[in-house]
């Protein structure tokens, strides 16, 4: 009988097995949660793993089907939905009988050209000649702090840090695609190839866009190599002059080049005063920030623009907190403040161009205003109807306002305390931040308060603001760039290279047969002025942020997410892209003494009708415009031998001529 008795368990867990088994049969835990096989709880991690696996499986299936389908199928589907597609510009011009004529030189802008590693620290020993910028950006995720270190320049010299050499990628592949599937120059290159262009008459003048323009020559001899390449291509193409096509900051870079190439050595290239007249047919500037971009100011002040500010609001804390030991915006600021080229895009011309506390050229702009007819060509005497008197005045001249009430108040109601003599360093915050917090660490609470107490900053004030918050950065910038307006261009000081990329402080070359085009998109709200707020001064945070909560709900408002918007290409306002060709260089002026012909060609933005159209063939956006068929056709016609008059002269949709007339400069 004793043998038939259940043996008393020695371990307590044996008592629970029958109970556990009964619990499994019920299928529910005591807390009512579901269980899955072998008594394991179906957790959130399981759900996430299954979801990721499902997404990956679907992705690979779609990718397989895409690779397996006939190459003509996507076009067939697109045409079935949207109708027959127009011929690409290259095919259209080939049918017209146009062929390659003048050699073409592309000059990429900031961030769109690839950079590769030639020497690095141990953390990057397997990355020799691999792209650190452009391509897949895989190493950003694998080793972010190592990547930031190698993409940064020396904060004192603006050149290579010790033991690191990052250089521009050579050839057309440097900027044909920024990342897989994201074109920059590829569409233009492909269309030029249709009329006979290839590498013997088409060249990408890539350079390290992080460096100041003169430093690209000091370190890499990039300007000298561009000079030699243009001379060679002109000589090997029957003496036909080159057509230069710069984009974005490349516009300023080539403006610097035109002065450098004619200036005597050692500061210049020694080409002589007629070099440009002998070698350049036309300069076709795409999206040129001739007078700078307001967007550069928040980039240098708080490492953000409108898109970053919106992302910060959607995911609060992600960009500001120490996530995986990576304080994102602080590291971005530490890196980008070593890129001297960013300072080339600080607004130029001061209040005379951009306006003061109560005036700006773009007063009365309405983002909902009806566009002019798509095919309308407007002369420089274009007349625009009266402004709407009921519309609330926007003070675009206040490039930065601390508080929406300051942005809207009358000048007499703004009580400002000058920040320029404020004492820095009182009550310094967390001292563990020096590796990520650059020069804000030295400002202290007193310096931050002084900046906010000044209330409103015009273009003139912004320069002093940047000197106050980032003196080391601006000391380098002052040695490389200038932002003023020349009183007397014959003054010998303007022979220094720091003035050469500012169209308001330099002359165009003596080349009356050369043409200059300004090609840019319009019809997209573009950043022009900002509403800021002071953030809590702790935990290494950047003390200033765009105040995304500043909004006006009424229809047609220019204020969205703390940013005042104006007409442009989403990055560069019309005023910056168009003023020089509309007025500053129009005819014989002190900036254009030989009377080089200038033309404005605007492209009214039309987004793609559906996702099958990709980024669209009528886009006016700052980078997407590189795939705009009308722009590509204009460039190709000039390359094939036509002139600005053959294109039809100016084509204008914006109010650029009206705004240019409001700017009172002696020309």
Does the active-site annotation cover 622?
yes
**CA-CA distance, 291 to 345, in Å (whole number)?**
8
For residue 103, cis peptide bond before it (omega within 30 degrees of 0) = no
**Which residue is it, tokens 């915050």?**
429
Q: How far is CA 248 from CA 195, 232, 336, 423, in A?
A: 26, 25, 18, 38
Q: How many CB atoms lie within 10 A of CB 561?
A: 17
Distance CA 12, CA 542 (A): 57
**Catalytic residue check, 569:** yes
The Cα angle at residue 375 between residues 642 and 583, in degrees rounded to 5 = 65
Q: Which candidate, 353, 333, 666, places its Cα nearest to that of 502? A: 353
Q: What angle do CA 459, 464, 470 make, to 5 degrees?
A: 120
Nearest to 549 by CA among 529, 528, 531: 531
> Strands, E, within 169-259: which ranges?
177-179, 182-183, 202-204, 242-246
Active site residue 518: no
Catalytic residue (choose from 320, 356, 569, 650) = 569
Q: E strand or H helix at 89, and its extent?
A: helix 89-95
HEC string of 118-148?
Answer: EECCHHHCCCCCCEEECCCCHHHHHCHHHHH
Q: Which helix (H) or strand (E) holds 28?
A: none
Strand bridging mode 115-119 / 165-168: antiparallel
- Looking at 168, 206, 248, 401, which residue is catalytic? 248
State the CB neighbour count (10 A cutoff) for residue 110. Answer: 20
Name the active-site residue from 203, 256, 622, 634. 622
As a whole number of angstroms, the distance between CA 374 and CA 147 comes to 46
Element spanning 527, H or E: strand 524-534
Give the single-character DSSP code of 488: -
Q: Which residues have a Cβ under 8 Å from the Cβ of 119 and sit 6 or more positions away?
A: 163, 164, 165
> How many whole angstroms from its chain centre is CA 448?
27
Residue 630, both tokens: 């009308």
Which 3 state secondary structure label does DSSP give 495?
A: helix
Active-site residues, by number, are 248, 569, 622
């Amino acid at each position: 009988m004793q043998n038939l008795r259940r043996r008393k368990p020695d371990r307590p867990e044996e008592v629970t097995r029958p109970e556990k088994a009964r619990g499994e049969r019920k299928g529910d835990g005591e807390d009512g949660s579901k269980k899955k096989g072998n008594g394991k709880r179906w957790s959130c991690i399981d759900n996430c793993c299954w979801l990721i696996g499902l997404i990956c499986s679907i992705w690979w299936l779609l990718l397989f089907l895409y690779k397996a389908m006939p190459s003509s199928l996507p076009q067939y589907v697109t045409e079935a939905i949207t109708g027959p597609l127009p011929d690409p510009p290259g095919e259209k011009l080939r049918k017209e009988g146009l062929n390659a004529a003048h050699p073409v030189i592309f000059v990429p802008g900031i961030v769109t050209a690839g950079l590769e590693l030639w020497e690095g620290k141990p953390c990057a020993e397997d990355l020799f000649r691999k792209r650190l910028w452009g391509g897949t950006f895989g190493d950003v995720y694998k080793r972010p702090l190592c990547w930031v270190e190698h993409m940064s320049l020396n904060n004192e010299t603006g050149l290579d840090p010790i033991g690191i050499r990052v250089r521009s990628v050579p050839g057309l592949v440097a900027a044909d695609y920024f990342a897989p599937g994201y074109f920059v120059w590829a569409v233009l290159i492909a269309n030029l190839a249709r009329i006979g262009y290839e590498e013997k008459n088409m060249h990408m003048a890539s350079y390290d866009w992080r460096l100041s323009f003169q430093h690209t020559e000091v370190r890499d001899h990039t300007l000298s190599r561009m000079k030699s390449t243009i001379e060679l291509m002109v000589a090997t193409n029957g003496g036909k002059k080159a057509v230069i096509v710069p984009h974005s900051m490349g516009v300023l870079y080539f403006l610097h080049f035109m002065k450098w190439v004619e200036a005597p050595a050692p500061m210049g290239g020694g080409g002589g005063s007629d070099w440009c007249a002998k070698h350049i047919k036309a300069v076709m500037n795409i999206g040129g920030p001739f007078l700078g971009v307001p967007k550069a100011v928040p980039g240098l002040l708080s490492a953000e623009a409108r898109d970053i500010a919106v992302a910060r609001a959607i995911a609060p804390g992600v960009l500001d907190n120490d996530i995986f030991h990576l304080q994102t915006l602080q590291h971005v600021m530490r890196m980008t403040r070593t890129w001297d080229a960013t300072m080339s895009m600080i607004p130029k011309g001061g209040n005379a161009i951009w306006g003061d506390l109560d005036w700006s050229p773009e007063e009365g702009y309405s983002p909902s205003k009806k566009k002019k007819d798509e095919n309308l060509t407007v002369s420089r005497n274009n007349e625009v109807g009266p402004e709407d008197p009921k519309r609330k005045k926007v003070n675009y001249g206040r490039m930065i306002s601390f508080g929406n009430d300051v942005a809207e108040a009358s000048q007499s109601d703004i009580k400002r305390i000058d920040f320029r003599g404020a004492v820095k360093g009182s009550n310094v915050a967390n001292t563990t931040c020096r590796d990520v917090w650059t020069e804000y660490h030295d400002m202290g609470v007193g310096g931050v308060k002084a900046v906010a107490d000044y209330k409103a900053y015009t273009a003139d004030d912004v320069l002093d603001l940047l000197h106050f918050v980032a003196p080391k950065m601006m000391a380098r910038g002052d040695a490389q760039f200038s932002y003023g307006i020349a009183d007397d261009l014959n003054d010998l000081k303007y022979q220094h290279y720091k003035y050469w990329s500012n169209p308001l402080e330099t002359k165009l070359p003596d080349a009356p047969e050369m043409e200059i085009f300004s090609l840019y998109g319009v019809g997209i709200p573009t950043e022009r002025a900002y509403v800021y707020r002071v953030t809590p001064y702790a935990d290494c945070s950047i003390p200033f942020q765009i105040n995304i909560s500043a909004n006006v709900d009424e229809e047609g408002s220019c204020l969205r997410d703390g940013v005042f918007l104006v007409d442009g290409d989403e990055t560069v306002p019309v005023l910056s892209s168009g003023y020089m060709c509309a007025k500053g260089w129009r005819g014989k002026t002190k900036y254009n003494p030989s009377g080089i012909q200038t033309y404005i060609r605007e492209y009214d933005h039309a987004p793609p009708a559906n996702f099958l159209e990709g980024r669209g063939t009528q886009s006016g956006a700052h980078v997407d415009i590189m795939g705009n068929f009308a722009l590509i056709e204009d460039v190709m016609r000039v390359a094939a031998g036509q002139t600005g008059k053959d294109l039809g002269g100016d084509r204008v949709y914006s109010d650029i001529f009206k705004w240019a007339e409001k700017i009172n400069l002696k020309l």
